[in-house]
Amino acid sequence: MTDQHTPQDPTDQYPQPPYGEQQQPHPGYTESMSPRPDHGEKTYVGSEKLKGRKAVITGADSGIGRAVAIAFAREGADVVLSYLREEEEDAEEAARLVREAGRTAVKIPGNLAEESECLRLIDEAVAELGGLDLLVNVAGFQMARPGGIAEISTEEFDHTFKTNVYSMFWLCKAALPHLKPGSSIINTHSIQAYQPTPSLLAYASTKGAILNFTKGLAQDVAEEGIRVNAVAPGPIWTPLQPATQPEDKVDNFGADTPLGRAGQPAEVAPSYVFLASQESSFITGETIGVTGGRPLA
């Protein structure tokens, strides 16, 4: 892709499957992926839509989270990057790209499946940035179980909900006292909220909960001048896929979309920028689908 402004044929601006075998241990790492995901490193061009804003982005080390961090920085925002401690190498690269854009990058590792870590993240973010305007919840856990519900343990189901849903509740609750009118919360659910895949039962269930949580919270805080929206990605080429999906699924990942390929993180990030910016001032409680043509419902 040239950049996010130049018109291009969406069917061939990025590689199409097959992508080959490339299984990884969880949580997955960018360096081991082929083709390398595009996070907008060379393709995202900013225009000061978020000038002077202060943002927390979870899952910011790689994938969609890294793409959002790059885009926000190039739009003028300072960024706190939240990530798992074992993802330090990816997180440092994401932070470098934010700083390269001339913005502040603060790395705060931690396990968001724990309430105390969520509260610490917000406290440290506010202290480091001197306030907070934008909370972007991207981090999530998934694990494919081809055998369906019989293969999902109580521990795994609980961990999936703690990471994907409870963390969002804890982070939003902690962030709200710091958010002023004009601030935004942007959550991430998925096409799985509408079209659940049996092998992703636990993950899909959390995404349905996030969809409902977003709509309810948007109504709860609207009078405070705070907007809450969501982005629902389809198949996006991130380390989460080779780290959690069977080899045949990774090889043909995204082939079932009308555009015939997986999306790239850089193609998702502009939706977060729009929802964070003044351009979406009359939009709250809504979802933008980024699915390569697969319908959300």
Catalytic positions: 203
Q: Which residues contact 33 (CB under 8 A, 6 or more apart)?
A: 22, 237, 239, 242
CA distance 167 to 209: 12
Contact 183, 133 (CB under 8 A): yes
**Count, residues in the chain:** 297
What 8-state DSSP symbol labels residue 135? E
Backbone angles phi, psi at 24, to 5 degrees: -135, 155
Let me know if 278 is exposed, middle or buried by CB neighbors in 10 A (0-12, 13-18, 19+).
exposed
With vertex at residue 69, the alpha carbon angle to CA 13 and CA 220, rounded to the nearest 5 degrees, is: 110
Neighbours of 62 (CB within 10 A): 27
